[in-house]
Amino acid sequence: MASTSTVVLSKGTPVTVVDLETIDFGMLEAGSVTETERLARAASTVGFFNLDLQKSSVSASTLDLVPLLFSTAEQFFCEPKEAKEQHARLDNLPFQARG
């Protein structure tokens, strides 16, 4: 499981945050078994990770896709609740649907 730390906001409110794994996409491209295992673990436990594109051969073209990623996410979240629930991770219960 991912570790956590506490950050204090400007008004003094403490907030617990998850320390996410950073996955090196360049190492994935190179076929690193270790990095592939780290990616699989991060994706199947926390479900989120930082993706480092700095050493990747596709970093510029990947960044060109950011607008498409945002529009795809917007389309997904505009779908009815029933459509979104088809993608719910049932092993991650209890989850709270937010609409």
Residue 93 binned pLDDT confidence (cut-offs 50, 70, 90): low
The tens digit of pLDDT for each residue in 33-69 reads 999 999 999 988 888 899 998 888 777 777 788 899 8
Predicted TM-score (pTM) of the model is 0.53
- Residue 26's contacts (CB-CB under 8 Å, 6 or more residues apart) are 52, 53, 54, 55, 56, 57
Q: Does 49 reside within a domain?
A: yes
- Residues of the chain with pLDDT > 70, as a percent, come to 87
pLDDT of residue 18: 84
Q: Indicate the number of domains in the chain.
A: 1
Domain that holds residue 14: 4-89
Q: Is residue 12 part of a domain?
A: yes
Residue 97 falls inside a structural domain? no
Distance, CA of 87 to chain centre: 15
Residue 60: inside a domain: yes
Q: Is residue 98 part of a domain?
A: no
* Residue 27, in any domain of the structure: yes
Q: What letter would DSSP give residue 74?
A: H
pLDDT at residue 92, as a whole number: 61
Residue 15 domain flag? yes
